[in-house]
Amino acid sequence: MPVVGLVVHECLFALRIVWAPKIKGIEYETIFEDLSNKSPSLLHYNPVHKKVPILIHNGKLIVESLVILEYIDETWKETSLLSEDLYERAMARFWAKFGDDKVVTSIFQGFFLKEGKEKKKAMVEAMKHLQFLEDKLKGKRLFGGERIGFVDLALGWLANFISIFEEVVGLKIVDEDKFPLLSEWMKEFSDSPIIKDNWPPQDKMIAKFHALYDATIAAAAASK
Amino acid sequence: MPVVGLVVHECLFALRIVWAPKIKGIEYETIFEDLSNKSPSLLHYNPVHKKVPILIHNGKLIVESLVILEYIDETWKETSLLSEDLYERAMARFWAKFGDDKVVTSIFQGFFLKEGKEKKKAMVEAMKHLQFLEDKLKGKRLFGGERIGFVDLALGWLANFISIFEEVVGLKIVDEDKFPLLSEWMKEFSDSPIIKDNWPPQDKMIAKFHALYDATIAAAAASK
């Protein structure tokens, strides 16, 4: 029985667990869930969060995408994502978490969800967070050095979603002049063979985020 | 040079990195920071978050308490906190994260920070989250089984802070009838030798949280 992953395309955290098994050459099946119509298997497998992504391996399920990513790395040791160096491992875990907790939140709030003062504050935060990532890339092609590592996969959503956000909200977020290394990394990462072949359809993603953005604006206007 | 940890007593996430090195018998020094007057060394060592806890080992610093906990476990392998079983390791990481993301947030919002409908909703969430923890303890003395493990240390704040919260807000949160296993675990955990000897002074903690709670109530009243 192959390893199975349940994911949705519009989830920022899902693609990392589509990419990781392919990088490692694991026999792997991806099932795309529709969150507006949750399948019985999703509710059965993840009663705590009722969320994807989920990895099913040997009949057991693992949830939380970074936990899954680390499980994949520990179980299939070929083409390892985390360094053997213990300090480097800790740093990779830190930056992956920083991406999920800080970068995602500030970009969503700054460019998507909030208005007025809160929006402005979150936008400033987002720029500060992106600057930390820019600094991390000094002297490196990828966060993992010469090949894709744990942090590259964890931040992969940036390469994938930023251009969608930018198109939907009509603003430049990762500016090439301001963030040259991050812009270069986004190209480098998304042009890598396995990543490129497993990229969600951009036009559908834009349509979904447009609908979400319009609904957010309408809800904000209605609550005024 | 011993390993050094920078922590504050009132931080829910700090005690885990005081307990872990002691459980492993590492030569370890704890520095207690005052967050209202951040030391130059804190600002120097953690420019990203400017937050504690921090671990300093071989002149390098690690931040984020769960990242630190895992670093400690990988570096000093004696009395391991995470199981050797890869699925169990993933589960431990999941529940530790669940504690930090879901349980902390719902308890703080439900019993401390929010008012009205939001408060009620968060209280319901908090009870649901505590029930998941109660279920995890079926047939076990501790989350780690017969000895303290990764999840016990990660959830240690519950054993420590719940009685403080309860005293400050005047409500029972972890009721013995509703959560008998969790109540038993809280006693078992806090009575363990190393945990007991490294418990912050309860009266000072109550005074601090009382002040915080009163300020929150006053701010909420002023904004009405």
Average pLDDT over every residue of B21-38: 80
In tens, the pLDDT along A146-181 reads: 999 999 999 999 998 898 889 888 999 999 999 999
Closest chain B residue to A132 measured between Cα atoms? B48
CA distance B97 to chain A (A): 9
Contact B221, B36 (CB under 8 A): no
Provide the pLDDT confidence category of residue B53 given band limits of 50, 70 and 90: confident
Domains of chain A by residue range: 3-75, 86-219
Residue A48 with chain B: CB contacts under 8 Å: 98, 132
Contact B143, B116 (CB under 8 A): no
State in words which class domain A3-75 has. alpha beta
Mean pLDDT estimate for chain B:
88
Residues with Cβ within 8 Å of A74's Cβ and at least 6 positions away in sequence, in order, are B86, B89
pLDDT at A224 over 90: no
Average pLDDT over every residue of A88-93: 97
Q: Which long-range contacts (CB under 8 A, 24 or more apart) does A149-152 make?
A: A149/A81, A149/A82, A149/A83, A149/A92, A150/A69, A150/A70, A150/A73, A150/A81, A150/A82, A150/A92, A150/A93, A150/A96, A151/A92, A151/A95, A151/A96, A151/A99, A152/A189
Residue with tokens 């995890």: B136
Residue A93 with chain B: CB contacts under 8 Å: 64, 67, 70
Contact B164, B191 (CB under 8 A): no
Residue with the larger pLDDT of the pair A95 and A1: A95
Q: What is the pLDDT of residue A41?
A: 64
Query: Nearest CA to B13 among B132, B149, B104?
Result: B104
- Asked if A13 has any chain B CB less than 8 Å from its own CB, the reply is no
Provide the pLDDT confidence category of residue B72 given band limits of 50, 70 and 90: very high
CATH 1.20.1050.10 fits A86-219, yes or no: yes
- Asked if A67 has any chain B CB less than 8 Å from its own CB, the reply is yes
Average pLDDT over every residue of B109-122: 88
Residue with the larger pLDDT of the pair A4 and A136: A136
Residues with Cβ within 8 Å of B210's Cβ and at least 6 positions away in sequence, in order, are B168
Instruction: Estimate the share of chain A in helix, then strand, then coil, as percent rounded to the nearest 5.
Output: 60, 10, 30
Task: Quote the distance between the C-alpha of residue A185 and its chain's center.
Answer: 15
pLDDT at B142 over 60: yes
In tens, the pLDDT along A12-51 reads: 788 899 899 999 999 888 887 766 666 666 666 666 666 7
Give the percent of chain B with pLDDT over 90.
Answer: 54
Q: Which amino acid is at B117?
A: K
Contact B209, B168 (CB under 8 A): yes
Relative orientation angle of helices B116-136 and B180-191, to the nearest 10 degrees: 70
Q: What is the pLDDT of residue A175?
A: 94
pLDDT at B192 over 90: yes
Mean pLDDT estimate for chain A:
88
Q: Which range has the worst mean pLDDT, A6-20, A81-95, A123-137?
A: A6-20
Taking each continuous run of H as one helix and of E as one strand, the counts in chain B are 11, 4
Residue B64 with chain A: CB contacts under 8 Å: 93-94, 97
Q: What is the DSSP letter of B120?
A: H
Q: What is the pLDDT of residue A203?
A: 85
Mutate to test the interface with A, among B94, B95, B97, B150 (most CBs of A within 10 A): B94
Residue A87 with chain B: CB contacts under 8 Å: 58, 60, 62, 71
Q: Which range has the worst mean pLDDT, A33-42, A181-190, B3-12?
A: A33-42
Closest chain B residue to A57 measured between Cα atoms? B87
Cβ separation B90–A71 shorter than 8 A: yes
Q: What is the pLDDT of residue A152?
A: 98
